[in-house]
Amino acid sequence: MMSSADSGFGLVGWILCLFTPVMLLLGLSVGPVPIDSQQLLQILPFLFTDVFTDTTGLDPAMAGLHTIIADIRLPRTLLAWLVGAGLAISGAAMQGLFRNPLADPSIIGVTSGASLGASVAVVLIGGGGLNFFTDVEQWGGLSILVTGAFIGGLLAALIVYRLSTGSSDHLSSSQTSVATMLLVGIAITALAGAGNSLLAYMTDNETMRRISLWNMGGLDAASDRRVILAACIIIPAVLLLMRFARQLDAMLLGESEARHLGVDVQRIKWSLVVIVAFAVASSVALAGVIGFVGLVVPHMLRMLIGPGHRRLLPYSALAGGLLLVAADIVARIVLSPAEMPVGVITALLGAPLFIILLRQRRDYGMY
Amino acid sequence: MVCINMMHSQQSQESQESRIIFDAVSLNRDGVEVLSDISLALQAGTITALLGPNGAGKTSLLHCASSVMACSRGRVLLNGADIQSFTPPSLAQKVAVLPQQSGLNFPFVVEDVVAMGRYPHSDGQLCDRAIIHNLMDLLHIRDLAQRPYTALSGGEKQRTQLARVLSQLICSPQLDVYDNSVLLLDEPIAALDMPHQTLLMNLLQQLAAKGLTIFIALHDVNLAATYADKIALLKAGHLIAFDSVSEVITEAMIKQVYDIEVDIIAHPKTAKPLVIPEV
């Protein structure tokens, strides 16, 4: 299968690839303590030598900067990049599955489901005799956090999908109902909010503060462990999702049309929901609630390259990573030396776009 | 090009075969029996028209034939095997379906929509391209190839979907069809203007002559009478008649199924029955 819009890696893709290292380096150099390109070049070789500690040979004057980069900015920038990529490709995949450009994980309740799951995990760890703040940064604590978020996110995704699309033997509903989808999303978000509040009410101040910090979204908790865990989940999720490009294209025709084209619709649905829940859950558990990335990025890309998933999926991952690293840079400098939660930036960017999309929904023929 | 060797070989022998057999098919939906004990066989290389008033069960019968719905009783056989036993990919290589409406809301360009019909096959890009381009020429949508689907008129959308569905069953630019394949169409002409209706029906006749088995739900009785080899008449889920055109299109039969008085005269050129509603 080949057509003009479908052959090879296009211009947009090369631009995204080119900008990725630039943005990552920018993420390392911008902050309350500015680090210029020359200093950065001096420090870079030492970042990957001996797990961030061996600085022999580095100008002693640089050691402080090295610590800033190695301990704070590198994990943070990499986490932003991974989470942005995971959220954006998840958004693109969800929109294909729901046949609906509004299906962002944060709007339909998957993100809040995951955050409730994570909160429950926080409280459970705290209640289980473990001190959350010392133990959560260990592998065990982080894994429990991710698992809790995964269960919450998966449940939310399944409920939304179940309620907003007809069951498979009911073909009259070949489309998802936008209204139902958004309403179910609101319900789940409200439910998760209530659950979070209840948990916060029942636990001590420190846990409460932590829970509320997540809900704002923050990359400031980034650590080597978090980056490694995020990489272990999000990179495989991105690679797996990219394999569904053709099936997702066919799904856009309608569920029964996809089946007639040989797509095992039931299996695709399950696989996608599980993979997306994993990607979203790990980003919620490790970087907090960051909304709208999955809405903004695929939407802007569709305007540039069309709706074909063969390109949309990998480009979304690239552009999502770029966007979140950029948003994190902005979050670091606008209130410097204080920081803004990065979720605020993405919401400021995404919410207006969401409203514009809602106004246009008649153009999409959806009600 | 691999597709050449897929060409239809033993046409005369094949035309005796039944491609799809409905064996005492009944279907319940939400506790209502929408199809009752329907048995009929679609001969290879023929066009069978499915007629009946709104709600007679035409779409449900097509759903059974495409395995989208499992029948409550009885079974549907495709090339001798129960249709429920096919995996989605293997079924997609044999059966293409045009649903009544399509809900594509994303701005794929026309050419990409048509190209999706090639997903079940792997005959190579050159072959795919030739087939797609030829079908777009035939259905007069080549000029629209790079236009977004969402910007098309109803008739243009319909022709795009038709080209997509046909490209699923055609294996060469010369319109050869894959062996033993079946085309199911649910009201394909509703959005088409008269020249395109005729164009489509002629194209279907050509494909049937190449061995394609076509089952087509229609509202236009005269179009069915002109182009179909056989006609199946449905009313309230029951098969009222299944026979050749001249046997089925009679004043009494139309009265029984549609409950209107009609006059039937012979078509001045083809001598096929022509139904005129009484004023």
CATH of the domain at B59: 3.40.50.300
pLDDT interval class at A115 (50, 70, 90) = confident
Q: What is the pTM of this model?
A: 0.86
- Count of A-B CB contacts under 8 Å: 111
Q: Is the per-residue pLDDT at A323 higher than 50?
A: yes
Q: Is the per-residue pLDDT at B8 higher than 70?
A: no
In-domain check, residue B226: yes
In this prediction, residue B122 carries a pLDDT of 86
Residues A175 and A172: their CA atoms lie apart, in Å, by 8
Mean pLDDT calculated for residue range B35-50:
95
Task: Give contacts of A252 with chain B, Cβ < 8 Å.
Answer: 104-106, 108
Q: Is B113 exposed, middle or buried (0-12, 13-18, 19+ CB in 10 A)?
A: buried
B102–chain A Cβ distance below 8 A for any pair: yes
In-domain check, residue B189: yes
Mean pLDDT calculated for residue range A296-324:
93
Residues A106 and A283: their CA atoms lie apart, in Å, by 12
Task: Give contacts of A307 with chain B, Cβ < 8 Å.
Answer: 106-108
Record: contact B103-A365, CB cut-off 8 A: yes
pLDDT interval class at A99 (50, 70, 90) = confident
Total of domains in chain B? 1
Task: Give contacts of A302 with chain B, Cβ < 8 Å.
Answer: 106-107
Task: Give contacts of A5 with chain B, Cβ < 8 Å.
Answer: 109, 111-112
Question: What are the sequence ranges of the domains in chain A?
Answer: 98-290
Record: contact A252-B104, CB cut-off 8 A: yes
In this prediction, residue B146 carries a pLDDT of 94
Fold classified for A98-290: ABC transporter involved in vitamin B12 uptake, BtuC (1.10.3470)
Q: Structural domain of residue B218, as residue ranges?
A: 11-104+178-277
Task: Give contacts of A264 with chain B, Cβ < 8 Å.
Answer: 87-89
Highest mean pLDDT among A153-162, B4-13, B203-212: B203-212
Q: Closest chain A residue to B70 measured between Cα atoms?
A: A169
Structure ipTM: 0.88
Question: Which of the two residues, A235 and A306, has the higher pLDDT score?
Answer: A235
pLDDT interval class at A144 (50, 70, 90) = confident
In-domain check, residue B6: no
In this prediction, residue A34 carries a pLDDT of 80
Record: contact A175-B103, CB cut-off 8 A: yes
- For an interface test with A, the pick among B97, B116, B165 (most A C-beta atoms closer than 10 Å) comes out as B116
Please list the alpha-helical segments (H only) found in chain B.
11-14, 58-65, 88-92, 110-115, 125-138, 154-167, 194-209, 221-227, 245-248, 251-258
In-domain check, residue B267: yes
pLDDT interval class at A297 (50, 70, 90) = very high
In-domain check, residue B210: yes
Shortest CA gap B273–chain A (Å)? 35
Q: Residue A337, preceding bond cis, omega within 30 degrees?
A: yes
Q: Is the per-residue pLDDT at A98 higher than 70?
A: yes
B150–chain A Cβ distance below 8 A for any pair: yes
Record: contact B119-A250, CB cut-off 8 A: yes
B111–chain A Cβ distance below 8 A for any pair: yes
In-domain check, residue B115: no
A11-20: Cβ within 8 A, 24+ apart: A12/A301, A12/A304, A12/A305, A12/A311, A12/A315, A13/A311, A13/A314, A13/A315, A13/A318, A16/A315, A16/A318, A16/A319, A16/A322, A17/A318, A19/A322, A20/A81, A20/A318, A20/A321, A20/A322
A297 contact partners, CB below 8 Å, separation of at least 6: A88, A91, A92, A316, A319, A320, A323
Please report where in the chains the tokens 């199911």 appear, as a residue: B184
Record: contact B105-A364, CB cut-off 8 A: yes
When CB atoms are compared, the residue of A4, A175, A364 closest to B146 is: A4
Residues B168 and B96: their CA atoms lie apart, in Å, by 6
Shortest CA gap A170–chain B (Å)? 9
In this prediction, residue A19 carries a pLDDT of 93
In-domain check, residue B209: yes
Q: Closest chain B residue to A1 measured between Cα atoms?
A: B125
Shortest CA gap A95–chain B (Å)? 10
